[in-house]
Structure formats: C-alpha cells, structure tokens
C-alpha cells in the first residue's frame, strides 16, 4: 500500500500570481508525493487565468501555469489540506479568520520567516524574482 500524497494548499491574495505559481512549482518538483491546490483570500480573479507576466516568468523557468483558473479559499479546502502555505503575513491573517480549531495548526508562511513579495504592478524582474524565491523555498514543503 502506498502512502497518500501530501496535500499542500498555497494561498495568496487573488490566486492570480504567487499561489498558482507555488502550486505549479510544488507539484512539478514533488511529483507523485504531493497533491497541490491554490486559492486566494479574495475573489477578484475567480475563474480567471493567472497574471500574464507570472505565466511568462514561470515559463522561462520551465513551469506551465496556462491551465490555472482562480479559486477563492473555502473551509473545505482548509480541511482537505495537510499544510496551508500563505504567501505573506496578510494572507496568513486572512486565513486565520476562515480557519477553525482543527485547521489553524495547518497554517504557515511559505518562506517560514518572511513574505513572498507581491509582484502585482511591478516590472518583469519582480515576477522573475518571485519565481526564484518560490522555487528556492519549495524543498522545505516537499516530502
């Protein structure tokens, strides 16, 4: 009998840049050992593709985000996950508002002690930097 894959949920503000990127990176690097989903704490980009600049920055490093469509966080998603990884402290605080006693212990920052900066409204270099940060931080979450 094989062990169930580790369930990782990545969360950012709009599920438009950072969390879908983290989900793709974790899924690609983790392979069959993980099942990864992403969501946003706000529903502005619900059902929409990832930010074009993030898709391009990810593609330049070998990650395909083209299938992503924005999702809003739900209590069911928190219950599904083994670990819920917030991209920044603001998202972590928003998750604590949705979580209950059984799901709060699953919450953590993706980079443990610092935020993954939001590249929204910045140049291509900011998006590329986020890809590097997320990729460099991935190993700590993989079995």
Active-site residue flag, 12: yes
- Angle formed at CA 18 by CA 138 and CA 63, multiple of 5 degrees: 65
Q: Which residue in 17, 18, 37, 88 is the catalytic one?
A: 18
Active-site residue flag, 100: no
CA distance linking residue 50 with residue 52, whole number of Å: 6
Q: Which residue in 17, 37, 88, 118 is the catalytic one?
A: 118
Structural contact between residues 77 and 21, judged by C-beta atoms closer than 8 angstroms: no
107, containing H or E segment: strand 107-109
* Residues catalogued as catalytic: 12, 18, 118
């Amino acid at each position: 009998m094989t062990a169930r894959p580790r369930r990782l949920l990545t969360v950012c503000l709009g599920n438009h840049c950072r969390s879908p990127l983290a989900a793709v990176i974790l899924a690609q690097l983790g392979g069959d050992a993980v099942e990864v989903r992403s969501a946003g704490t706000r529903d502005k980009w619900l059902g929409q593709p990832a930010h074009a600049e993030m898709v391009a920055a990810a593609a330049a490093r070998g990650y395909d985000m083209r299938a992503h469509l924005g999702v809003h966080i739900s209590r069911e998603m928190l219950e599904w996950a083994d670990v819920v990884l917030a991209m920044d402290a603001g998202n972590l605080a928003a998750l604590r508002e949705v979580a209950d006693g059984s799901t709060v212990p699953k919450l953590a920052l993706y980079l443990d002690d610092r935020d993954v900066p939001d590249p929204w409204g910045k140049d291509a270099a900011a998006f590329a930097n986020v890809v590097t940060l997320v990729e460099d931080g991935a190993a700590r979450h993989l079995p």
